[in-house]
Structure 1
Amino acid sequence: MSESAGVPEPDFEQLHEAVERLLDETVDREEALELSAEGLRVDVPIRFGEDAPRARWGFDGDVTVTVEGVRGPLREWIELHEDRIVESDD
């Protein structure tokens, strides 16, 4: 559980799939994503792993995000990155 938010830890498999779908759809649409928020607070893991420490990010205002590029295997890159972290810990 995230101590500061009191919510269960995210399912990393579902998180990977959601990010991959979001990026794919954004690249395909070639349109900007726009967000307006007030008092938005998110606990963001500082590194991968269930026990990773969290940083609290806050946001008040508007943001526009554009994504340019080619659809690619984000999941494979994330898994490679996680494998490299595990190897460096050994």
Structure 2
Amino acid sequence: MGTRRHVWFKRWMAALASTWAVVLLAGSVQGQALSPAAPHPIWGVDSAAGRGCGEVGWESRGCVNWQAFAQGEYVGHARLPHVPEYRLRVDDQ
């Protein structure tokens, strides 16, 4: 049980660290609004975490660092718009 808790904690800390890195980076870029895809850790099951003893179930859930996949995140929380207002020109399609 202690090992699972340790793995969960490491994943949670990695997710938290990546989120703060994105937030800090966003603050250093002038004129560009950036926000993390998910500003808080997302729970999930990492199927690669199995020990080769069958299928990994929900009892193996933990915080998954979805930020590592950037736009590859399949289901996530609502994102902030990149620009405050979208405009189309006359000939845009």
Higher strand share: 1
TM-score (norm 1): 0.31
Bigger proportion of residues as helix: 2
